[in-house]
Amino acid sequence: MIYFNFMEGRYLFWIIGLFLVFGQGCSPKSNEKEILEKEPLSQQDSLKGFALAIHGGAGTIKRENLKPEQEKEYRQKLEEALNAGFEVLENGGEATLAVIAAVQVMEDSPLFNAGRGAVFTHDGRNEMDAAIMDGRDRNAGAVAELTIVKSPIQGAYQVMINSPHVFMVGRGAEQFAREQNLEIVDPGYFRDEKRYQQLMKIRETEKQQLDHSSIRQLELEDPYFNDRKYGTVGAVALDQHGNIAAATSTGGMTNKRYGRVGDVPVIGAGTYADNATCAVSATGHGEFFIRNVVAHEIASIMRYGNKSLSEAADEVVMEQLVEMDGSGGVISIDRFGNIAMPFNSAGMYRGYIRQKGEAKTFIYGDEEEGL
């Protein structure tokens, strides 16, 4: 009996040992699940701290089209917008508040097709769209066809934080803005004489029944005429808490009719943010950006294609859009602070800032960005 118990115990010992040794090979290791769930990192992924990038529209923007004093004015306003957003980030503020601060500077300037510089519809009205998205939880707000709200991006923000909805339009959006105590102005506040003359020029081309090549020549010669399709402002940011956000605002397309809405307020087309991938604000011919779901497509290529931000943005803007004859560009940022600002048009008002007092601004396609 003693010998039997001894042998039984010895066999039991070996059975337990074999189970411990070979059992590990038959089941996942303790950290295997963590390895499988860990997101792949690209060679660019190194934490660069908080940062902000902006755009003021893309199009046929060439040196010969801008006088030196005009170029200086654009660069000063871009720098002002960058510094306004960066101040929020530097003081520990959220990315959403930083992009709002940057966009509002451009909304208040008649230089850009947003807010006070909004273009005119066929009926001679200023109708504005805007959107904002928080990458932390993918909460979003969007508005369209605003005519009396001084800051459209604030209207979009209020939809995001104070309503159960994502997208509001027209009179309903304006009523909601009043209820949120946003500043309401007379529609005349948005009237800019240069923008109105732009509308008159385009109406004249309609009477002349100009062909596509003639209209294209006007775009090349007249920067205001060019803005009929491409003007928009936007910002993307990474804050000190590791969250990213995107915001975009526009006056739409000059001479637009019948309640036309472009890509800007369409979440995933002109505006998108997700901490897992990137934040994107787009500018260009909106119909193409909607059809290509540009902002979300960039995020998807990063998520499922294991591409860096730069690679994903270039693939969408420089390949997919070009194949469809879609013109424009994007600004984008990922959770590591990497920034990409590709565009397939002649130029794009753009810039970024990583350090206080070191705002970088660009306009033309041949400028070295040093990202």
Q: Which long-range contacts (CB under 8 A, 24 or more apart) does 263-266 make?
A: 263/287, 263/289, 263/290, 263/294, 264/129, 264/130, 264/131, 264/232, 265/129, 265/130, 265/131, 265/142, 265/143, 265/144, 265/156, 265/167, 266/131, 266/142, 266/290
Whether 254 is catalytic is no
Q: Is 351 annotated as a binding residue?
A: no
Q: Is 228 annotated as a binding residue?
A: no
Q: Which residues of 105-132 are buried (b: 16+ CB within 10 A; e: fewer)?
A: bbbbbbbbbbbbbbbbbbeeebbbbbbb
Q: Is 231 annotated as a binding residue?
A: no
Q: Is 366 annotated as a binding residue?
A: no
CB neighbourhood size of 228 (10 A): 25
Nearest-angstrom CA–CA distance, 371 and 366: 14
Q: Is 296 annotated as a binding residue?
A: no
Q: Is 357 annotated as a binding residue?
A: no
Counting Cβ atoms within 10 Å, is residue 19 exposed (0-12), middle (13-18) or buried (19+)? exposed
Give me the catalytic one of 96, 121, 147, 232: 232
Q: Is 250 annotated as a binding residue?
A: no
Q: Is 261 annotated as a binding residue?
A: yes
**Residue 233: in which H helix or E strand, if any?**
strand 233-238
Binding residues: 260-263, 283-286
Binding-site residues for substrate: 260-263, 283-286
* Residues classed as catalytic: 232
